[in-house]
Amino acid sequence: MAQAVSWWRYALVGVLVGALALAFYVAATGFPSSKVDAQDFVDLQQGATPHEGFRRAHAKGFCVAGDFVSSGALADYSTATLFAAGSTPLQGRISIAGNNPMAPDLKAPVRSLALSIETAAGDVWRTAMNTPPVMAVRHPQDFYQQLVALGNGTIQQFFAEHPESATFREWAAGYRASGSFATEVYHSINAFYLVAANGERQAVRWRAVPRAELVDTVPAEFADSDDALQQEFTARLREQPVVFDLVFTLAEASDDETDPTVLWPAARTEIVAGQIVLRSATAQLEGDCNAINFDPLVLPDGMAPTADKILRARSAAYAESYRRRAREQ
Amino acid sequence: MSKVPQFSRAARWLHWSMALLLLSLLFAGLTMVRALEPWQLTLLQLHKSFGLVALVLVLIRLWVRMRTQAPALPADLAAWQRVSARLSHIGLYACMLAMPVSGYLMQNAAGRPLEVFGVLTLPALLEVDLAVYGMLREVHGWVALAFIVLILVHVAAALQHGLIRRDGVLQTMTGRRRP
Ligand code: HEM
Ligand code: HEM
C-alpha cells in the first residue's frame, strides 16, 4: 500500500459507516418523530416513582385459577379448539386500574379481569377485560393525551375536544361500582374476528357477565380495608366458585369493528360461549399469573385481531411493562 | 497458511444473505418494540419467524466455516489488525447465535406459543418464569446493541480494505478475486 490514498476514499468510508449508524439510531429512538411510543406510554403510566416489580398499569390485583367450560356454541364460527364443547384450564388475574400496587380497592374507577386459557396442544388465548364497554378515544396517541389530562385536571376539556368520547361518558355517568369483583361485567372493548374452518371471519366483542347475584356494597366486615374487594372475593371463593358467562356479540355489516368508542346496537345476536369458573385465588407475587403478560394479541388459531388502532397499540406497551417488571425480579 | 484465494461459494452466499436477513431483523426489532402502530403485530410475527430462519442459517454457516478453508489475510497486515479481525469475527458469530437462542427461549419463559410463519408450532424448552424471562429479555436487548457495534466496526474494516488499502480482502467475500 505504497500509493497515496486520496481524501475522498476516507470520506466515503466515513459517510457509509456513518449512514448505517444513523439508520440504527433512528430505528432505536424514532428521532426526529415526536410521536408517543411504547416507552413513553409506560413512562407516563408508571408515574414519577415506579413501583418496582409490579405491572405499570393495573398494578394492584391477585391471581385466580379455574376453567373455561365451553358450551361448543362458537364451534361453527371459530376453529379454536378451546371453543369446542369441553373444559380448558385457565390462569387469570383480577385487578384495579392504576399504577399503585397498594391502592385502596374501593377508590379505583375501573376494575378488570384478565384470562390466559391454554389448551393441551399449546394453543393460548389471552384477554384483558375492563368494566367500561367502550374506550373514550379511538387512537393510542389520543389515549395518551387522555391519561395526561386525567393527571393534570383537564379531563373535562379533553372530553369536550373529543366528541367520540360521548358513549364512554354516558356509560361513566350511569355506572355504579358494585360491592364485589364477582358481580361486575368485564368487557373486551376491542373487537376481534372469529375465523371459521372455511376462512370466514365474524367480528365479535365479548364480555364476562356475572352469574352471582348483584351486591350493591361491600359487606361491612371488609369495607374499611384497603383490600376490601380482595377480601370479599377470597371469602366468597371459600363458599363456592365464582362464575361468569362469556357472552359474545356478533357484529353486522353496518358495525365498524375497528372503532372501540361505539357500542353496537342492542339487537345484535349474542352467543354464550361458555362459563368462566374461578375456583382459587392467590396473592399476585406468589401466583402463576405474575409471570404472565396478558397481551390481548396472543390469540389461538381460529381468532384474529381487527385493525382497531387501540388494540394494535396494546402489544408493544404491555411488552414494555412486562420487560421492566421482569428485569426488577 | 491458507492457500485458497477467496471464500467458498457457499460461504459467500451465506454471508450476504445473512447480512441482509440480520440487518432486517435488527431494524425490525428496534422498530417493533417502540411501535404503537397497526402493523406492529405483523412485524413482530415476521421477526420471530425470520429470527428462527436465522438460527438455522447460522448453524449451517458455522458448519460450513469449520469444513472449508478461509483465505489468509495479507502478509503485510499489522499484528493488532489480525488479532482484531479474529476477535471481531468470533464476536459476530457469538451474537448471531445468542440473538435467536435468547429470542426463542424468552418466548418459552413468557409462556407464549412460538409459531413459525403460522404453520409450524415449536416446543417450549423452558418453564414459564418471570425472572428467567427478564434475564433473557435483557440478553436479547444488550446483545443486539453489541451486535450493532460489531457490525459497524466490521463494515468500516471491510470498506477500509476495499477502498483505502485495496488489498483484495473485500474481494475474498464479494467473489471477484482473481488469483
Ligand atoms: C392503547 C391502549 C392501552 C395501553 C397502552 C394499555 C397499557 C397497559 C399496560 C402497560 C398494562 C400492564 C401490562 C403488564 O405489565 O402485564 C396494561 C394492563 C391491563 N390493561 Fe391495558 N392498555 C390499553 C388498553 C386497554 C384496554 C382497551 C383494555 C380493556 C379492554 C385494557 C385492559 C387492561 C387490563 C385488564 C390490564 C391488566 C392485565 C393484568 O391483570 O395483567 N387495556 N395495560
Ligand atoms: C438473529 C436473530 C435476531 C435478531 C438480530 C434480533 C434482533 C432483535 C432486536 C434488535 C430487538 C429489539 C431489542 C430491544 O430494543 O431491546 C428484538 C426484539 C425482540 N425479538 Fe428478536 N432478534 C432475533 C431473533 C429473534 C427470535 C428467534 C425471536 C423469537 C422467536 C425473537 C423475538 C423477539 C421479541 C419477542 C422481541 C421483542 C421483545 C419485547 O417486546 O419486549 N427475536 N430482536
Which residues of A does the annotation mark as catalytic?
A: 58
Considering only CB atoms, B131 lies closest to which of A141, A313, A329, namely A329
**Residues of the domain holding A206:** 11-328
Q: Looking at residues B15-40, what average pLDDT do you find?
A: 98
pLDDT at A4: 78
Q: Which three cell numbers stand for residue A180?
A: 364485589
CA neighbor of A137 nearest in space, from A326, A313, A296: A313
Contact A59, A98 (CB under 8 A): yes
pLDDT at B63 over 60: yes
pLDDT at A125 over 50: yes
B72: left (phi over 0), alpha (psi -120 to 50) or beta: beta
Write phi, then psi, for B74 (nearest 5 degrees): -60, 145
Q: A143: part of which helix (H) or strand (E)?
A: helix A140-152
pLDDT at B179 over 80: no
Question: Is A256 within a domain?
Answer: yes
Q: How many domains, in total, are found in chain A?
A: 1
Q: What is the pLDDT of residues B110-132, one digit of tens each?
A: 999 999 998 999 999 999 999 99
A324 lines ligand 1 (CB under 6 A): no
Contacts of B67 (CB under 8 A, 6+ apart): none
Q: Residues of A comprising the binding site for heme?
A: 318
pLDDT at B56 over 80: yes
Instruction: Output the residue whose Cα is nearest ligand 2's atom 15.
Output: B30
CA neighbor of A137 nearest in space, from A108, A110, A163, A109: A163
Q: What is the CA radius of gyration of chain A?
A: 23
Question: Is A123 within a domain?
Answer: yes
pLDDT at A3 over 70: no
Contacts of B55 (CB under 8 A, 6+ apart): B97, B100, B101, B104
Contact A324, A56 (CB under 8 A): yes
Q: Which domains, and CATH codes, for chain B? A: 9-174 (1.20.950)
Question: Is A307 within a domain?
Answer: yes
A112 lines ligand 1 (CB under 6 A): yes
Contacts of A276 (CB under 8 A, 6+ apart): A66, A68, A90, A92, A113, A115, A208, A243, A244, A245, A246
Question: Is A3 within a domain?
Answer: no
Q: Does A17 lie at the interface with B, CB-CB under 8 angstroms?
A: yes
Give the minimum alpha-carbon distance from A219 to chain B in angstroms, rounded to a whole number.
36
DSSP output for B80-117: HHHHHHHHHHHHHHHHHHHHHHHHHHHHHHTT--EEET
- We report the CATH number of the domain holding residue A173 as 2.40.180.10
A311 lines ligand 1 (CB under 6 A): no
Q: What is the DSSP letter of A5?
A: P
A313 lines ligand 1 (CB under 6 A): yes
Instruction: Output the residue whose Cα is nearest ligand 2's atom 33.
Output: B103
Q: Looking at residues B80-89, what average pLDDT do you find?
A: 96
Q: What is the pLDDT of residues A200-221, one digit of tens each?
A: 999 999 999 999 999 999 999 9
Residue A241 — pLDDT band, cuts 50, 70, 90? very high
CA neighbor of B97 nearest in space, from B155, B141, B56: B56
Give the minimum alpha-carbon distance from A139 to chain B in angstroms, rounded to a whole number.
10
Question: Is A6 within a domain?
Answer: no
In a mutational test of the B interface, the residue from A141, A315, A318, A324 whose CB has the highest number of chain B CBs within 10 Å is A315
- How many of the other CB atoms lie within 10 Å of CB of A102? 10
Q: What is the pLDDT of residues A54-78, one digit of tens each?
A: 999 999 999 999 999 999 999 999 9
Residue A1 — pLDDT band, cuts 50, 70, 90? very low
Q: Model pTM greater than 0.90? A: yes
Write the ipTM: 0.96
Q: Percent of chain A beyond pLDDT 90?
A: 98
Q: Which numbered atom of ligand 2 lies nearest the CA of B22?
A: 5
Q: What is the CA radius of gyration of chain B?
A: 18
Contacts of B106 (CB under 8 A, 6+ apart): B133, B136, B137, B140
pLDDT at A93 over 90: yes
